[in-house]
Structure formats: structure tokens, C-alpha cells
């Protein structure tokens, strides 16, 4: 029996069904809000895009969903051979959406309207892949806690802040660890941070940060071994 067959046979009280329902509710809220915000409103001065509200929504709600999905949908399946490539593809898509939101934040109203339509279309495709491929693949998979997932997505729907993202580099090839961490740092705004998880004290990485981003990085050890190190890495100011 396939994962999709198991998925459709679950009852409404099953934790998976409750969790997937919360995810789909989040998806529909994102879609409907973006559809409204990318619409063009007509006024006496001609058609004017709702650029400020659109930008705010993408910076706040869309990005908050992407962080929630990466932490609660992608991370539990990232190390599984059957879902690893799918997760990598979804993370590439999320990074592309994140880059488009960066462009939107500095765009003029006309370009902002165009970018808004592009973001809405890209996000819709991204969410469809989550619904039709990822959710069935996660059903019953070890490491996926549907009760916790439902709680986290419901917290997102309620507007609660998402916990700081976690980057676990232990399963990343050595040559790709530092670039992944620096890429995540580059997306931080002043005051934001993420959690790095490593299997040893990442002193060389700290030295690189201090050399490249002197005076702009906070480095706080949360756990120091013996088998796992956790460090909160933050952007405290613009680079000197």
C-alpha cells in the first residue's frame, strides 16, 4: 500500500489528518491574502498596487510560514533517503521565494506589483508540492510528530512568533557547511538570529565570522558538548 493510499484512509480524528488540515489552512490563508493584495485597486489617480500592504505581508507572514515549514515539515524528513531530494528541492524553492521577497522590499510600486504576482504564483506552486507530494510522504514517517506539527502550524495561524530557525550541519558534507551558515546569516536583519547545531565546537567558523563580519555578529553558546554543540548566531549591526 502506498503512502498516498494510507494518507487518504486516515480518519478525521487521526493526528496526521489534524496536522495536515492545519497546514492546508495555512496554505489557503496565504493564497487568499496574496490574491487580494496583488489585485490592483482603481482610484481617481489610476490603478495603484497595494504595495505597502503586500510587502508587509510577504516580509511577515510568508517568511514566517517558510520558517515554520522548514523547521516542522522539512527538517524531520531531511535525513531520510526517500525524502531527502524532495526536501532539498523545496528548500531551493523557499530560498528563491526569500530572494524575491528581498527584491520586493526595495522595489518601486510598479516593480513591486509585478514581483507580488510572481511571488504569489511561485508560492502557490510551492504549496501544491507540499500538499500533493510532501504531506503523503510524511504520513507515518519516523521523526515526524503530527501533534507537535499541528500545534506549531496553529501557532503560526494565530500570529505567534516563530522560534529562531535551526541549521543542523551534522548531515551536510564538510565543504557545504560554512557556505550554508553564511548564506543564512546574509538573510538576517539586525536583531535576528538562528541556531547552529554541530558535532564539535565550531571555532574555525567563528574565526571566519569575526574576519568577514567584524563587529556585526553575536555568538552565544547554548550547549557545549560532549556530543552536540548549539550556538546562537545573530546580526547585531550593519557590517563595519
CATH of the domain at 239: 3.30.110.40
Backbone angles phi, psi at 32, to 5 degrees: -65, -40
Check residue 139 and give its pLDDT. 80
**Stretch 158-174: mean pLDDT, rounded?**
76
**Stretch 216-228: mean pLDDT, rounded?**
83
Residue ending a domain, among 120, 144, 161, is 161
Please state whether beta strands 193-198 and 166-168 pair in parallel, antiparallel, or not at all (unpaired): parallel
Instruction: Tell me the whole-structure pTM to 2 decimals.
Output: 0.62
| Count of domains observed in the chain | 2
Taking only Cα atoms into account, the Rg of the chain, rounded to an integer number of angstroms, comes to 20
Residue ending a domain, among 161, 185, 214, is 161
Q: d(Cα 240, Cα 233) in Å, to the nearest integer?
A: 17
**Cα angle 201, 206, 212; round to 5:** 160
**Does residue 17 carry a pLDDT above 70?**
yes
In terms of domains, do 175 and 240 share one?
A: yes
**Stretch 84-108: mean pLDDT, rounded?**
88
**Does residue 240 carry a pLDDT above 70?**
no
Check: CB of residue 229 under 8 Å from CB of residue 199.
Answer: yes
Instruction: Report how far Cα 201 is from the mean position of its chain's Cα atoms.
Output: 26
**Stretch 48-52: mean pLDDT, rounded?**
58
Grid cell digits, residue 118:
510572481
**Does residue 200 carry a pLDDT above 50?**
yes
Instruction: Report how far Cα 34 is from the mean position of its chain's Cα atoms.
Output: 17
Residue 140 gets which letter from DSSP? Answer: T
**Stretch 115-143: mean pLDDT, rounded?**
89
**Does residue 220 carry a pLDDT above 90?**
no
Q: Is the dihedral of CA 117, 162, 85, 132 positive or negative?
A: negative
- Tens of pLDDT, residues 56-67: 889 888 988 888
Grid cell digits, residue 79:
535525513
**Stretch 75-80: mean pLDDT, rounded?**
74
**Does residue 129 carry a pLDDT above 90?**
yes
Check: CB of residue 123 under 8 Å from CB of residue 34.
Answer: yes
Domain that holds residue 213: 164-240
Residue ending a domain, among 129, 161, 193, is 161
**Stretch 130-157: mean pLDDT, rounded?**
81
Amino acid at each position: 500500500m502506498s503512502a498516498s493510499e494510507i494518507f487518504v484512509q486516515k480518519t478525521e480524528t487521526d493526528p496526521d489528518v489534524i496536522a495536515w488540515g492545519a497546514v492546508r489552512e495555512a496554505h489557503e490563508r496565504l493564497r487568499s491574502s496574496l490574491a487580494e493584495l496583488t489585485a490592483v485597486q482603481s482610484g481617481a489617480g489610476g490603478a495603484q498596487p497595494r504595495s505597502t500592504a503586500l510587502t508587509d505581508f510577504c516580509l511577515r507572514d510568508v517568511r514566517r510560514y517558510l520558517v515554520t515549514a522548514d523547521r516542522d515539515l522539512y527538517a524531520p524528513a531531511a535525513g531520510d533517503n526517500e525524502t531527502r531530494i524532495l526536501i532539498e528541492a523545496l528548500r531551493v524553492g523557499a530560498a528563491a521565494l526569500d530572494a524575491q521577497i528581498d527584491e520586493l522590499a526595495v522595489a518601486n510600486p510598479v516593480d513591486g506589483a509585478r514581483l507580488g504576482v510572481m511571488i504569489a504564483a511561485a508560492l502557490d506552486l510551492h504549496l501544491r508540492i507540499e500538499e500533493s507530494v510532501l504531506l503523503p510522504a510524511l504520513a507515518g514517517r519516523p521523526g515526524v510528530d503530527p501533534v507537535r506539527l499541528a500545534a506549531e502550524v496553529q501557532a503560526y495561524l494565530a500570529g505567534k512568533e516563530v522560534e529562531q530557525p535551526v541549521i543542523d550541519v551534522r548531515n551536510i558534507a564538510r565543504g557545504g557547511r560554512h557556505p550554508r551558515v553564511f548564506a543564512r546569516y546574509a538573510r538576517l536583519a539586525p536583531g535576528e538570529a538562528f541556531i547552529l547545531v554541530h558535532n564539535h565546537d565550531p571555532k574555525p567558523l567563528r574565526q571566519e565570522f569575526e574576519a568577514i563580519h567584524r563587529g556585526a555578529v553575536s555568538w552565544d553558546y547554548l550547549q557545549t558538548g560532549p556530543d552536540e554543540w548549539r550556538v546562537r548566531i545573530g546580526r547585531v549591526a550593519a557590517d563595519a
